[in-house]
Amino acid sequence: MPVELHPTLNRRLFLSQAGAAVGGLALGTVLQAGVETAAPAELEAGWLALISDTHIDADLAKTNLGQNMAENLRAVVQDVLSQAQRPAGTFINGDLALKDGQTPDYEQLLNLLGPLRQAGLPIHLGLGNHDHRDHFLAVLKDPLQLQRAEASKYLSEVTLQMGTAQAPALLRVIVLDSLNKVNITPGLLGPEQLLWLQDHLDAPAHATVPTMVLVHHDPSNQTNALIDSDALLRVLGPRRQVKALFFGHTHVWSTKQQNDGLWLVNLPAVAYPFSNDQPLGWVQCRPRGNGVELELRAIGGNLTQNRQRVELAWR
Ligand SMILES: [Zn+2]
């Protein structure tokens, strides 16, 4: 089925509402998107909280690999809120739930995100292989103002006013959906979503705004990674307005730049590391000139890289 954008979607302005405003897209249905306006103080800040792999279980006391996932997410939420200024957007890049996305897992996730919601911060969620799309929507749709997905994928998109009042800059963030089968490790975007992405990026209104794409699975040729990695990179590579691809899944913190200038950023997990050398935490993303600066905010695991800053100069 071809994917059509709702005609009112283009750069429609809307105000962030009390509670979390979440941009959601259902392929083949409608896209909630637009330029989120922020209070002047927040315009000065213009930073994003990038979070991945929270792996929340209904039982908040549950531990895995020696980590209490709920405690780790609480620490991340507290660290986000302790910054001098509030984020313009908070993104959680999939594997929200521990194993197979049970409804009570999402209820507890919602509870743990409570302080962010009470602060009125927009929260944007993506799905990973340990999520269940219908359970996710059943719990989070109304509280986080999600659009109902009628088709097989759930995406979100937002265009944010970043930079300072003197030097404002737009930044678009698109969150893709690589959940293929619940609790089956490899991910898949599928031709329909890739076609949508290609058409969407080629639309005149979207051809120049610097864009960051988030997807849960690593775009590699590893066995358990994104199956259609090459197809995704073929869409993103030539479209120069796409500056960076962020992913999670591997529970590893790393940044690298491809030969074509596209940045590949592996976000650390919140929940637990698969190897002792990895940090747990989140990444603060701030606009800096023609690019962004990332800062690792470690709350556990290997803390030696905590506060590491990496400049991503846009191609
Ligand atoms: Zn994970």
What the chain holds in terms of domains, given with CATH numbers, is 13-161+171-313 (3.60.21.10)
216 CA → ligand 1 middle, Å: 9
The residues pairing with 35 across neighbouring beta strands, listed in sequence order, are 13, 159
54 CA → ligand 1 middle, Å: 7
Neighbours of ion ligand 1 (CB under 5 A): 53, 95
* Position 3 pLDDT exceeds 70: no
How many percent of the chain have pLDDT more than 70? 84
Q: Residue range 151-167: average pLDDT?
A: 81
* Position 44 pLDDT exceeds 60: no
201 CA → ligand 1 middle, Å: 28
202 CA → ligand 1 middle, Å: 32
Question: Which run of H or of E encompasses 263?
Answer: strand 263-266
22 CA → ligand 1 middle, Å: 22
Q: Please indicate, yes or no, whether the overall pTM of this predicted structure exceeds 0.75.
A: yes
CB-based contact 87:80 (threshold 8 Å): yes
* Position 179 pLDDT exceeds 70: yes
Q: Residue range 280-302: average pLDDT?
A: 95
DSSP 274-307: SSTT-EEEEEEEEE-SSEEEEEEEEEEE--TTTT
Q: Residue range 162-191: average pLDDT?
A: 90
CB-based contact 129:217 (threshold 8 Å): yes
List all residues 6 or more positions away from 59 whose beta carbon is below 8 Å from its beta carbon: none
Model pLDDT, residue 125: 95
* Position 9 pLDDT exceeds 60: no
Q: Residue range 247-251: average pLDDT?
A: 98
* Position 29 pLDDT exceeds 50: no
- Tracing tokens 């030696």 back to the chain, one arrives at 304
List all residues 6 or more positions away from 125 whose beta carbon is below 8 Å from its beta carbon: 22, 91, 92, 96, 136, 140, 144, 156, 175
- Please calculate the CA angle 38-198-7 and round it to the nearest 5 degrees: 55
251 CA → ligand 1 middle, Å: 6
Model pLDDT, residue 156: 85
Model pLDDT, residue 149: 55
Model pLDDT, residue 205: 86
Per-residue pLDDT band for 224 (boundaries 50, 70, 90) equals: very high
184 CA → ligand 1 middle, Å: 12
Per-residue pLDDT band for 146 (boundaries 50, 70, 90) equals: confident
- State the chain's mean pLDDT as an integer: 86
